[in-house]
Amino acid sequence: MAHFAQLDDNNVVLQVIVVNNSDCLENGNESEAVGVAFCQSLLSGNWKQTSYNGNMRYNYAGIGYTYDSGRDAFIPPKPYDSWTLNETTCLWDAPTPMPTDDKRYTWDEATISWLEKT
């Protein structure tokens, strides 16, 4: 099965649908363009293919994600103002890594630090 994300005018994902592989074939090979045309025949709009296993466009698209055409990537919403985009993964990184012990933590934007959950 193939997955396609419908984008609004700002390239924000509105929905993701599942399309049968047979609806994406051209001369026996999967084609994003054919899949996009199939999606447009069902629902108008701008469509981009996405992948659960991350073999295209870095991340599986989710509602609220943004498609960045320069990076050809789906980028999740920024969780906190202090976080920065990791150009290798197209995911957001905290200013300091989360501790790797067996404790549970939550991010505290006011102190720009990880706080242990109690």
pTM of the full structure? 0.91
Tokens standing for residue 84: 């920065």
Mean pLDDT value of segment 50-56: 90
pLDDT confidence of residue 118: 86
- Residue 32 has a pLDDT of 96
Q: What are 85-94's pLDDT values in tens digits? A: 999 999 999 9
Digit-coded pLDDT (tens) for 55-71: 899 999 999 999 999 99
**26 pLDDT exceeds 90?**
yes
